[in-house]
Structure 1
Amino acid sequence: MSRLPRLAGVTAAALALGLLTTATAAAGEPTVSDPRVIAHFDFAQGQTPENIALEPDGSADLTFSFARKVANVTRKGTTRIIATLPAVANPDTPNIGAAVVTGIARAHDGTLYVNYSTGTSRTGIWRISRDGGAPRQIAKLPPDGFLNGLALDERRGVLYTADSVRGTVWRVPSRGGRPKAWATGPELEPGTGPDASGFGVNGLRLHHNAVWVSNSDAGTLLRIPVRENGSAGPIRTRATGLPGIDDFGFVERHRDTVLAALITADEVVRVRPNGTHTVVLTGEDGLSNPTSVAVRGRTAYVPSAAYFTQEDPNLLLARVHQRARR
């Protein structure tokens, strides 16, 4: 999520928040084709899909940020609401003012975890049980922060979440408990110039024993190793020149190759392990301020929140050609 005007209520929040671009892929690189929008959502109702987790059947769980809801969308586009986060009186979330649901992660047993930012004591990580019970807060995080990307490490029993305003990656026990500031540094902080959005570290994925994050203001993709004792290793920049980068996903069978959403450019780019990147999807394919990417097998899922276009929040699927290098 990138900067939005301060909002009052869902209606005000809604007002704020070509064809496939063909690029020749080098030998062994994955290519993306056949983009199609499978579900359209209601912008006026705050159905702005911010983040995504995939179910075993190929359906997608999406956070509708300003509606404070979590929805499941089948590959045929059928949408149902599976949870609603509680309303907050007088929310005061940094940068936007409204209460928003952002990052989402799924455990193997079907439990869902979501980030909820409110500017109040309800800011934190919430758990949604697989039986559909009411969401329950399992960790409180600073109300003056803005929680964004979220990932679950079931082996270690911890969650990692990106705080875009405080420039921090938090680590929280998945059973619930006290958060720990796991990684900090200037690489994670929001910009300070006149064009800065106020959003630093944003997207977050766990990949090959490291936490990978994006920094929206800096336009960077970063890797933070997880040491044997669980502490954070040194922050390394893996790609630059990605203005407005939001969340991202890794392409299976292609080590460290990323498909990343550039929210302000209406683009998805393929980022190679050497940091170079190529546009693979654009607004002409149906993107409308894309916020995240998930990849499974030969399918890429791209939610668009339409925060700035204010037109056609949706879920797009595209085919990923898995041509791994031999």
Structure 2
Amino acid sequence: MAPYRPTTGLRRRAVTLGFATLFAAVAAAPPAFPATTGTHPAHVAGTCLDDVHVLAHFDRVAGQVAESIAPEPGGSAVIGMIRARQVVRVALDGAVQLLATMPLPPGGGTTTPIVGTPNVTGVARSDGGDVYFLYSSGQGGLTGIWQLRPSGESRLVVPLPADTFPNALVIDGKQHRFLITDSAGGRIWQAPLSGGEASVWSADPALAPAGFIGANGLKIHDGAVWATNSDRGTIVRIPVTQDGGSGRAEVRATGLEGIDDFDFTGRSTEILAAINESSKLVRVSADGAQETLLDAKNGMQGTTAVVVRGNQVYLTNGANLAGDDPNLMLAQLRRC
């Protein structure tokens, strides 16, 4: 992990302990799972979230720090678990099914960039039902995009360099490729959906880290690739050129320190942003104006990911820097 200039108490805590030590301390703490979570309506500038509730609690002692979400038809969701190196499925009744656990690399993965421990990060699901996920291990031959096969086995389909920290994964069906953020290198990689060699799609300076985590969340929208930069607290838009290449990045929102994932609400370029560091879900309007929809009072704890599917909003809380209850939450999105 590169030296970092902390600006908040949470970042000072992360740097002082180191992420590996911090995750170990989190895992050692006893779980505190409430039996139920009440409804918390939130109303901001024409966007409302209703019926906010926890669908599933995860096993913190086992390192199930929820990181990413891939919804499935029927309402279930595939979730990537950072420190447990797992992929799980959560059914609509809250049942959690283990799909895959990645092996520890030789040496335990202490060379993994940024965190010094191996991590399963982004997950994605193709229209045909194939499940893919990212593994960052600090080792060549293990780091990259993995496919979960129907047999339950996993196979590496796109290897990435050992010094990358692949974080978010999306399937770009129009261009028949994967896109992957690299939080350590501040880049977006691309690779064919059929598998094989990856190449850098964009290394725009707007994606670069400022000492810790750069490019993080990733979506395709409005003829462009959009990404967050956690260190810089920004959301950037990179236009896709006619030949599928990358244009120059444009910063579309600032002041979102510690941002992780995000998604579009379906209302122009309005965004819901998961702010990991301050445990918030923030609405970002098309002009960059921001309002907090949910925070710690509504159960946000180290919020890592948000995905919108129609009127359904999926949220994961990793509880890695704040809180003690990693979970998957659901909410209803409506206009008001």
Structure 1 residue 78: Cα displacement? 1.1
1:17-96 equivalence runs, <5 A: 20=40, 22-25=42-45, 29-90=46-107, 91=109, 92-96=111-115
Paired amino acid for 2:27: A
Equivalent residue in structure 2 for 1:305, among 311, 318, 329: 318
Q: Which runs of 5+ in 2 are unaligned?
A: 1-10, 30-37
Question: What does residue 139 of structure 1 align with?
Answer: 158
CA contact (8 A) 1:223 1:238 kept: yes
SS in 1 for 2:120: strand
CA contact (8 A) 1:201 1:215 kept: yes
Cα separation, partners in 2 of 1:226 and 1:10, compared to 1, 3 Å: same
Structure 1 residue 266: Cα displacement? 0.7
Whole-Å separation in 2 of the counterparts to 1:102 and 1:230: 25
Question: What does residue 32 of structure 2 align with?
Answer: none
CA contact (8 A) 2:283 2:291 kept: yes
Structure 1 residue 139: Cα displacement? 1.4
Question: What does residue 246 of structure 2 align with?
Answer: 232
CA contact (8 A) 1:11 1:44 kept: no
Structure 1 residue 228: Cα displacement? 1.6
Equivalent residue in structure 1 for 2:259, among 235, 245, 258: 245
Equivalent residue in structure 1 for 2:227, among 213, 217, 229: 213
Question: What does residue 147 of structure 2 align with?
Answer: 127
Residues 206-246 of structure 1, C-alpha deviations (whole Å, 9 max, x = no match) = 12221110000000001111112010011011111111000
Residues 4-44 of structure 1, C-alpha deviations (whole Å, 9 max, x = no match) = 7252798567369x98474441xxx3221221111111111
Paired amino acid for 1:156: Q
Residues 120-158 of structure 1, C-alpha deviations (whole Å, 9 max, x = no match) = 0111111113x2431111111121121111100123210
Cα separation, partners in 2 of 1:10 and 1:219, compared to 1, 3 Å: closer
CA contact (8 A) 1:20 1:280 kept: no
CA contact (8 A) 2:279 2:322 kept: no
Equivalent residue in structure 1 for 2:237, among 223, 228, 248: 223
Whole-Å separation in 2 of the counterparts to 1:114 and 1:128: 8
Whole-Å separation in 2 of the counterparts to 1:240 and 1:8: 30
CA contact (8 A) 2:64 2:81 kept: yes
Question: What does residue 195 of structure 1 align with?
Answer: none
CA contact (8 A) 1:8 1:98 kept: no
Q: Which runs of 5+ in 1 are unaligned?
A: 193-197
Runs of at least 4 residues off by over 6 Å: none
TM-score (norm 1): 0.90
- For this pair of structures, how many residues does the alignment match? 311
CA contact (8 A) 2:39 2:51 kept: no
Structure 1 residue 185: Cα displacement? 2.2
Q: Does 1:278 align with 2:291?
A: yes
Paired amino acid for 1:46: G
Paired amino acid for 2:48: T
Q: Which is further off, 85-94 or 208-217? A: 85-94
Structure 1 residue 310: Cα displacement? 5.0
Kindly report the root-mean-square deviation, in angstroms, between the aligned alpha carbons of the 2 structures.
2.1
Cα separation, partners in 2 of 1:234 and 1:217, compared to 1, 3 Å: same
Q: Which has the higher contact order (CA 8 A, sep 6+)?
A: 1
Cα separation, partners in 2 of 1:233 and 1:319, compared to 1, 3 Å: same
Cα separation, partners in 2 of 1:132 and 1:31, compared to 1, 3 Å: farther
CA contact (8 A) 1:107 1:152 kept: yes
Equivalent residue in structure 1 for 2:331, among 318, 322, 325: 318
Whole-Å separation in 1 of the counterparts to 2:159 and 2:28: 29
Q: Percent identity?
A: 38
CA contact (8 A) 1:214 1:246 kept: yes
